Amino acid sequence: MPMSAGGLRELKKNRTRQLIADTANALFRARGFDEVTVDEIATAAQVSKKTVFNHFPTKEDLVFYRAEDREAVSLAAVTDRPAGVSILDSFRTLCLAQTRFVPNMRRDLVHPRSFFDLVSDNPSLQRKMHEVNERIVRVLADALAAEAGAEPGDPLPRIVASTLVGAQRALYRRLRQRVREGGPDEEIERAHHADVERVFGLLGTGLSGYPPA
């Protein structure tokens, strides 16, 4: 019989996992992804190298161990939206709410290496990030297909999912850029709001008029 969540064994396992991830990310931020070996991480966390790889299949996974959260949030925007709200509107709301990350972005600005510096400096982390995005597209596409009752193999759900995730990413990226450029919160928020409206305006009415002549 499984006891799962309650047990002490499970607790210790989660602690170990968290310890490894925290140790690794602290080292990565201090010195960069390539400049830290898994051996070092294991030593610093006082576990064996094998244990690190038991919890995280690749070194890259140490950086992206919270990726499932993003996946869950995006999925919820499709499956848990209130009745009468379209998928597009639900995603627009999700994108508007990206401003809640602004404090985190500001905090990152003072770090020697933010999460995004880490990723943008390193090809293998970029690949991993694309993998994460692709996974979200797939999960979302499945949800869309289920809701639409699409025929198996129908390309439409996937295209819609890819568009929504693409929009989400591009808007997030733009928001980060605005934060980097500085300025008061309200102004950034207003500008982001305008970006979101412009993007979802286009997606809502179609791409045939792009680029505007």
Partner DNA sequence: TCAATTGGTTACACTTAGTGTAATGGTACA
Partner DNA sequence: TGTACCATTACACTAAGTGTAACCAATTGA
Q: Is 47 in the site for DNA (CB under 7 A)?
A: yes
**In contact, 160 and 139? CB cutoff 8 Å:** no
Half-sphere exposure of 129 (CA within 13 A, CB side): 16
Whether cis (ω within 30° of 0) applies to the bond prior to 112 is no
Query: Measured between alpha carbons, how far is 176 from 194 in angstroms, rounded to an integer?
Result: 15
**What is the smallest separation between the CB atom of 65 and DNA, expressed in angstroms?**
13
Q: Is 139 in the site for a copy of itself (CB under 8 A)?
A: no
Q: Is 85 in the site for a copy of itself (CB under 8 A)?
A: no
Would you tell me how many other CB atoms lie within 10 Å of the CB of residue 60? 20
Which x/- pattern, by CB under 7 A, does the window 24-43 give for DNA? ------------xxxx----
The structure tokens listed for 154 are 């129908």
132 sits near DNA (criterion: CB under 7 A): no
98 is an interface residue for a copy of itself by CB under 8 A:
no
66 is in the binding site of which of DNA, a copy of itself, none (Cβ under 5 to 8 A by kind)?
none
7 binds, among a copy of itself, DNA, none (CB under 5 to 8 A by kind): DNA
C-alpha dist (Å) from residue 89 to 16, 94, 149, 204: 40, 9, 20, 9
Residues near a copy of itself, by CB under 8 A: 86-88, 123, 126-128, 130-131, 133-134, 137, 144, 147-148, 150, 153-156, 158-160, 162-163, 166-167, 169-171, 173-174, 177, 195, 198-199, 202-208, 210-212
